[in-house]
Chain A
């Protein structure tokens, strides 16, 4: 297997991890919104910020596979 193939697999694994993370954030945010609809706006903001943090990890993987 070439190094590019390994890099692609690495990027894929990073995406799996980030997908699970963002899914967990979305699940919890939806639960919280259903329980307390009055603070929906606040929850949305923090969910977006947390998703951005998780996503950054996946994007590091993408960048690594772009560089290799």
Chain B
């Protein structure tokens, strides 16, 4: 019996090694084919530069947009139009983004209430009267048009509403489950939500903020955690075109701003004393530390902003770059490698969605915790 098991083990091991070797050979073959193909392709394409532009494609997918672009069919884009809300000198102007006819190069002019608008690189410009084309100076400021205040329901705003709706649905149904049961046993969706809420309470709020004061900050921490997490997950769904909500710096700035406001307003005497007049050090050191501590106060929310924004954007860029390898090499042989790697990165990204939401929550709790800490010396 024992020898049989050992033989089986050895057999499996040999099989494993063999598979690995074959895999390596296949990978090598694929890469060499791809590289030679690339060599030929680049020779062919030297004089015609109207090929596939990976950077443009990636930036188009990572940036916010005024319409929900789904797919290109027969060189015609299929997209869901979203409302455009502009505030110009003459007041409010609204129309649907379909009136631009998918134009993003600033050539299609939309006329509303005597004002003329063009869309150029996902920015809407208001043309001056009698002008037909946009011109820019060296610093890329428009010379014959101005930027109206843009309150449009863009792709990101729309996806944010969807995620708010999803969160509301989950939590309202979980709450109603608790209301119905008489012994507060979690059932249905509540049994999915409860461990997460308990995790945030026991692993984040209580250790970071303290047993006495954590209750006040739980609603904020939970909202931030679930909002970021759901938005991160929505960003990874390809059919929604990866609406990159949490990879938008405006979104992360506003969340970090909330943390900053809450930290500052809940800061007690002890916290402010540590910033402006550090106790326990000599006077020259107190004066030296003051600017550093003041800068540190603002650096905390800035680092929160950049961390979430850059993490999510970097993930999207990596996946899209791996996918665009197929089109850069112009070969089908590279497709399995590129799909395999991007699947691998996608799985890592699924973990990252939760980790980044957790990190944001933990750091917010940590900052709030330092602001509400009592004097203990």
Q: Which residues of A contact B (CB under 8 A)?
A: 41, 45, 48-49, 52, 55-56, 59-60, 62-63, 66
Contact = CB atoms under 8 A, between A and B. Distances in A.
5 contacts: A52-B363, A55-B307, A56-B303, A59-B306, A59-B311
Given A56-B303, A56-B306, A56-B307, A62 B314 contact: yes
A49 B363 contact: yes
B310 interface: yes
B306 A60 contact: yes
A63 B310 CA distance: 7
Given A59-B314, A62-B314, A49 B359 contact: yes
B203 A45 contact: yes
A52 B359 contact: yes
B362 interface: yes
A66 B317 CA distance: 11
B101 to A, nearest CB: 30
Nearest to A58: B310
Interface in B296-319: 303, 306-307, 309-311, 313-314
Is the interface on chain B under 10, 10 to 19, 20 to 34, or 35 or more residues? 10 to 19
A68 to B, nearest CB: 13
Contacts of A55: 307, 311
A52 B356 CA distance: 9
B359 A48 contact: yes
Contacts of A60: 306, 310
Interface of B: 203, 207, 303, 306-307, 309-311, 313-314, 355, 358-359, 362-363, 366
A1 B307 CA distance: 29
A59 B307 contact: yes
B362 A45 contact: yes
Contacts of A45: 203, 207, 362
Nearest to B55: A4
Nearest to B314: A62
Contacts of B309: 63
B307 A52 contact: yes
A54 to B, nearest CB: 11
Given A45-B207, A49-B366, A56-B303, 16 more contacts: A41-B203, A48-B355, A48-B358, A48-B359, A48-B362, A49-B359, A49-B362, A49-B363, A52-B307, A56-B306, A56-B307, A59-B311, A60-B306, A62-B310, A62-B314, A63-B309
A41 to B, nearest CB: 8
A5 B268 CA distance: 48
7 residue pairs, one from A and one from B, having the closest CB atoms: A59-B310, A52-B359, A56-B307, A56-B303, A63-B310, A62-B310, A62-B314
A58 to B, nearest CB: 9
A45 B199 CA distance: 12
A49 B360 CA distance: 10
Nearest to B59: A66
Contacts of B355: 48
Nearest to A52: B359
Contacts of A48: 355, 358-359, 362
A35 B310 CA distance: 35
Nearest to B249: A63
Contacts of A59: 306-307, 310-311, 314
A45 B359 CA distance: 10
A62 B317 CA distance: 11
B233 to A, nearest CB: 19
A68 B309 CA distance: 17
A42 to B, nearest CB: 8
Nearest to B358: A48
